[in-house]
Structure 1
Amino acid sequence: MSTCSLPNGDEFFLLPEIAEALRCSVKTVRRLIQDGKLKSSKVRGRVVVLKSAFLAYLGTITTST
Protein backbone atom coordinates (compact mmCIF):
# COMPACT_ATOMS: atom_id res chain seq x y z
CA MET A 1 0.00 0.00 0.00
CA SER A 2 1.33 3.40 -0.88
CA THR A 3 0.57 5.91 1.83
CA CYS A 4 0.65 9.61 2.40
CA SER A 5 1.48 10.84 5.90
CA LEU A 6 -0.51 13.58 7.55
CA PRO A 7 0.82 16.14 10.06
CA ASN A 8 -0.78 14.22 12.97
CA GLY A 9 1.12 11.07 11.99
CA ASP A 10 -1.88 9.28 10.50
CA GLU A 11 -1.89 8.11 6.88
CA PHE A 12 -4.57 7.74 4.26
CA PHE A 13 -5.32 5.10 1.68
CA LEU A 14 -7.27 5.24 -1.56
CA LEU A 15 -10.19 2.87 -2.08
CA PRO A 16 -8.33 0.53 -4.47
CA GLU A 17 -5.63 0.12 -1.81
CA ILE A 18 -8.23 -0.77 0.83
CA ALA A 19 -9.89 -3.20 -1.60
CA GLU A 20 -6.56 -4.88 -2.27
CA ALA A 21 -5.84 -5.25 1.45
CA LEU A 22 -9.29 -6.73 2.09
CA ARG A 23 -9.16 -8.83 -1.10
CA CYS A 24 -12.47 -7.46 -2.30
CA SER A 25 -13.72 -5.05 -4.94
CA VAL A 26 -13.78 -1.27 -4.72
CA LYS A 27 -17.56 -1.57 -4.95
CA THR A 28 -17.55 -3.60 -1.73
CA VAL A 29 -15.39 -0.97 -0.02
CA ARG A 30 -17.84 1.73 -1.13
CA ARG A 31 -20.67 -0.37 0.31
CA LEU A 32 -18.83 -0.65 3.65
CA ILE A 33 -18.50 3.14 3.68
CA GLN A 34 -22.15 3.67 2.74
CA ASP A 35 -23.28 1.25 5.48
CA GLY A 36 -21.23 3.21 8.04
CA LYS A 37 -18.90 0.31 8.79
CA LEU A 38 -15.79 2.05 7.42
CA LYS A 39 -15.23 5.77 7.93
CA SER A 40 -13.93 7.83 5.04
CA SER A 41 -13.20 11.42 4.07
CA LYS A 42 -12.95 13.38 0.85
CA VAL A 43 -9.69 15.04 -0.11
CA ARG A 44 -9.76 17.13 -3.28
CA GLY A 45 -12.74 15.15 -4.55
CA ARG A 46 -11.22 11.71 -3.86
CA VAL A 47 -12.56 9.39 -1.19
CA VAL A 48 -9.84 8.30 1.22
CA VAL A 49 -9.73 6.15 4.34
CA LEU A 50 -7.49 7.04 7.25
CA LYS A 51 -5.22 4.30 8.51
CA SER A 52 -6.73 4.67 11.98
CA ALA A 53 -10.24 4.15 10.57
CA PHE A 54 -9.08 1.12 8.59
CA LEU A 55 -7.45 -0.43 11.66
CA ALA A 56 -10.61 0.24 13.68
CA TYR A 57 -12.67 -1.55 11.03
CA LEU A 58 -10.26 -4.49 11.05
CA GLY A 59 -10.69 -4.68 14.81
CA THR A 60 -14.43 -5.01 14.44
CA ILE A 61 -14.25 -7.82 11.91
CA THR A 62 -11.59 -9.81 13.77
CA THR A 63 -13.34 -9.61 17.14
CA SER A 64 -16.81 -10.47 15.81
CA THR A 65 -15.84 -13.96 14.62
Structure 2
Amino acid sequence: MKILVDVKDEKATSLLEVLKGLSFVTAKPLTESKAKFLEDVKEAVEEMKLVKAGKLKARPAKELLDEL
Protein backbone atom coordinates (compact mmCIF):
# COMPACT_ATOMS: atom_id res chain seq x y z
CA MET A 1 0.00 0.00 0.00
CA LYS A 2 1.23 3.48 -0.76
CA ILE A 3 0.43 6.42 1.49
CA LEU A 4 1.12 10.08 0.79
CA VAL A 5 1.75 12.06 3.97
CA ASP A 6 2.09 15.84 4.13
CA VAL A 7 4.54 16.90 6.86
CA LYS A 8 5.82 20.34 7.87
CA ASP A 9 9.38 20.87 6.64
CA GLU A 10 10.86 21.26 10.12
CA LYS A 11 9.43 17.86 11.18
CA ALA A 12 10.11 15.91 7.96
CA THR A 13 13.66 14.85 8.79
CA SER A 14 12.61 13.39 12.14
CA LEU A 15 9.71 11.49 10.60
CA LEU A 16 11.88 10.12 7.78
CA GLU A 17 14.39 8.82 10.33
CA VAL A 18 11.62 7.02 12.21
CA LEU A 19 10.20 5.53 9.02
CA LYS A 20 13.63 4.39 7.82
CA GLY A 21 13.99 2.51 11.10
CA LEU A 22 10.99 0.32 10.23
CA SER A 23 12.02 -2.66 8.12
CA PHE A 24 8.62 -2.90 6.41
CA VAL A 25 8.56 0.74 5.24
CA THR A 26 10.29 2.32 2.26
CA ALA A 27 10.28 6.11 2.50
CA LYS A 28 11.55 8.67 0.06
CA PRO A 29 10.71 12.35 -0.20
CA LEU A 30 8.93 13.76 -3.24
CA THR A 31 10.27 16.69 -5.17
CA GLU A 32 8.16 19.83 -5.03
CA SER A 33 7.16 19.40 -8.70
CA LYS A 34 6.03 15.78 -8.19
CA ALA A 35 4.03 16.77 -5.11
CA LYS A 36 2.34 19.55 -7.10
CA PHE A 37 1.59 17.13 -9.94
CA LEU A 38 -0.04 14.66 -7.53
CA GLU A 39 -2.15 17.43 -6.00
CA ASP A 40 -3.27 18.55 -9.47
CA VAL A 41 -4.23 15.01 -10.47
CA LYS A 42 -6.14 14.54 -7.21
CA GLU A 43 -8.03 17.78 -7.83
CA ALA A 44 -8.86 16.73 -11.40
CA VAL A 45 -10.21 13.37 -10.22
CA GLU A 46 -12.39 15.08 -7.61
CA GLU A 47 -13.74 17.46 -10.27
CA MET A 48 -14.55 14.54 -12.58
CA LYS A 49 -16.45 12.84 -9.76
CA LEU A 50 -18.49 16.03 -9.27
CA VAL A 51 -19.19 16.26 -13.02
CA LYS A 52 -20.34 12.64 -13.14
CA ALA A 53 -22.56 13.24 -10.10
CA GLY A 54 -24.12 16.25 -11.86
CA LYS A 55 -22.87 18.70 -9.21
CA LEU A 56 -20.46 20.48 -11.55
CA LYS A 57 -20.82 21.46 -15.19
CA ALA A 58 -18.10 20.28 -17.58
CA ARG A 59 -16.58 22.43 -20.33
CA PRO A 60 -16.72 21.29 -23.94
CA ALA A 61 -13.46 19.72 -25.15
CA LYS A 62 -13.28 22.22 -28.03
CA GLU A 63 -13.24 25.09 -25.54
CA LEU A 64 -10.40 23.44 -23.65
CA LEU A 65 -8.38 22.83 -26.83
CA ASP A 66 -8.94 26.40 -28.02
CA GLU A 67 -7.48 27.59 -24.73
CA LEU A 68 -4.24 25.69 -25.41
Question: How high is the TM-score relative to the length of structure 1?
Answer: 0.29
Higher relative contact order, structure no. (Cα contacts within 8 Å, ≥ 6 residues apart): 1
Higher helix share: 2
Structure of higher CA gyration radius: 2
Question: How high is the TM-score relative to the length of structure 2?
Answer: 0.28
